[in-house]
Amino acid sequence: MTSPGSMPVPATGPRSPAPGGPGEPRFGPGPAFPPAAGRPQPWPPTPAIPRPPGLLERRWPGPTGAVRPVVLAVLTAAAVIGATTLPAVRPGVGWLLAALAATTALVTASLVRSDTSSPAATATTAAPPATAAPPDTPAQATNRPPTTAAPPTTAAPATPPTTELPTATPPTTALPTATPATTAATRADSVTPAPATARPGATGAPGRVARVAWAVATVALVAVGTVRAAGWLFALCLIAAAVTATLAVTGGRNPFGMLVAATLPPAATVRAIPWAVRGLRHTRPAGPGIGRIVSSLAVSAGLLVLFGLLFSSADAVFADLVAGLLPDISASSVFGWLARLLLIGLGLLGGAYLVSRPPDLDGLRPAPSRPAHRLEWALPLTLLNALFAAFVLVQLTVFFGGAGHVLRTAGLTYAEYARGGFWQLLAVTGLTLLVIAIAARRAPRATRADRLLVRVLLGALTALSLVVVASALYRMQVYADAYGATRLRLVVATVELWLGLLFVLVGVAVVRLRAEWLPRLVIGTAVLALLGLALVNPDRLIADRNVDRYLETGRLDVGYLSGLSADAVPALDRLPEPLRACALREIAAELPRDGLWAANLGRERARRELGGAVMTAGVTDCAGPLRW
């Protein structure tokens, strides 16, 4: 009410508390209630929207936190073992020991999770609560420093604004929920779980089985250097072991994923260095214990060197024993050991980074192509099948007609006929696989008629290709009988057998119209073919075939046989003199005593075969023409 003659005073509601009090609005000082609709409302500054994760971050986020000290210790031990046991060039047991140590270290790294209590990991995990605090009213109240206005607000007049504030705050509290920051946070929350589910093939049962199989294949390939002395064979096994080891640590299962997996180990080595640095910083509290261990080892090494030198100078037998156990130490050997330690250590560190959190390579697939029209792919394949059928009929005629038919129709000997066609048939086999792969990708399968046509045409081409493979293998057999067995001919025949097996697998995929398993079997069968070649001892097989051919025909290329490895010694020992001495002299000259890490079963067997035999052939006996 107003007294007469006084001007009316509009009711403005309760007085707003002083700035900084508990009734202060969210965004700056002002009335406790929202202003009129016509007046502009304050708006908080728009935060920067975080950059969305890229393809590499989504597919390969890498391990979080720091590497565990036990993983660093195991990796260091494996690197030291590898640098010590790996011989310079020759295959030996040291390669197997290094492979076993590396496998143990990587298995440990895959089982031991990264430490998420490191500073980097703590900062990362503490960031989301800090960004989520502003929308909460209690958090804002706790962040407000002035607290002296609390007693006035406890009075009764201040109570209604406190109870009315929630009714006026919904528009204010609803604003931050619609801000880009909140949207970005929601988007980040939806992206964060992706790495945990981005590894179904790497952590599921099929993925684990495949990775264990690749690891076993890697160790088996490296173990070839322990039982076979052929350097060329061991080089092929090392190349294959590099492929299988890459698949073991990356887990790629489809063709595109396997190709990408080949590029990841170098990148993993670079990305693993900060990961290892965080692990070293995290182990600083344990520094005094590590220092005591290092000092103890240094004192032990000094005592052993001192007293070992004194005992060696006092007794000649003990000196010979020590000299046999210790390697020759020189500046070049120390530099080589340090270089091997660095390279092996970096490689193992990158492998540990990969197995700690493997990338998601199963989702990497090429974009689906537009299916071709039925006429576009069916006509070329029909004509190609007709050409293959005509060639197969000719091959059947040659098989049944034999050398007489070839001599009458082509004017060539059977050996010349076989020699002139093998390499062309090998090229045909490889190109046919490429044609089948392209046709299977482009052929439509929407209707039952399309699927039936795919099965008929591609199945017929696969069956006819098997006849081509058989023809190539038969030609190689005739070729080797006429001109002798060599390493190249044996390897090419093995490749042709492998291609024949691939055609069988392709036939199964064509019938089922599914080939997700085929890329893994392609590499797996190639590894099995290489291990099978090592199992049959190729150099000895070649020597046996040539010796048998000499005993039947009297023709022999001694110069070629003398270049074989020590694996061929048991077969070459059957030759009569002076051919035996001519074939074994160069091999015996390359059979020095192996060291501890270069022990090899093939060379040891050759030493036992030769014994103390003296090569009686002189220079003049081996200088003449040795090929008949």
Omega before residue 61 within 30° of 0, cis: no
pLDDT score of 406: 55
- Residues lower than pLDDT 50 in the chain: 1-7, 9-14, 16-27, 117-205, 286-287, 620, 625, 628
Alpha carbon distances (Å) from 457 to 380, 437, 512, 588:
10, 13, 14, 57
Task: Say which amino acid occupies 185.
Answer: A
pLDDT score of 194: 38
Please check whether residue 436 is in contact with residue 508, taking contact to mean a CB–CB distance below 8 angstroms: no
Which tens digit of pLDDT belongs to each residue from 72-107?
A: 889 999 999 998 888 667 888 889 999 999 999 999
pLDDT score of 446: 82
* Alpha-carbon gap, residue 305 to 587, rounded angstroms: 39
Q: Which of the 8 DSSP states describes residue 372?
A: P
SS3 state at 101: helix
- Annotate 133-202 with three-state secondary structure: CCCCHHHHHHHCCCCCCHHHHCCHHHHHHHHHHHHHHHHHHHHHHCCHHHHHHHHHHHHCCHHHHCCHHH
pLDDT score of 614: 52
Give this prediction's pTM: 0.71
* Alpha-carbon gap, residue 626 to 604, rounded angstroms: 28
pLDDT score of 250: 87
Both tokens of residue 605? 């067997």
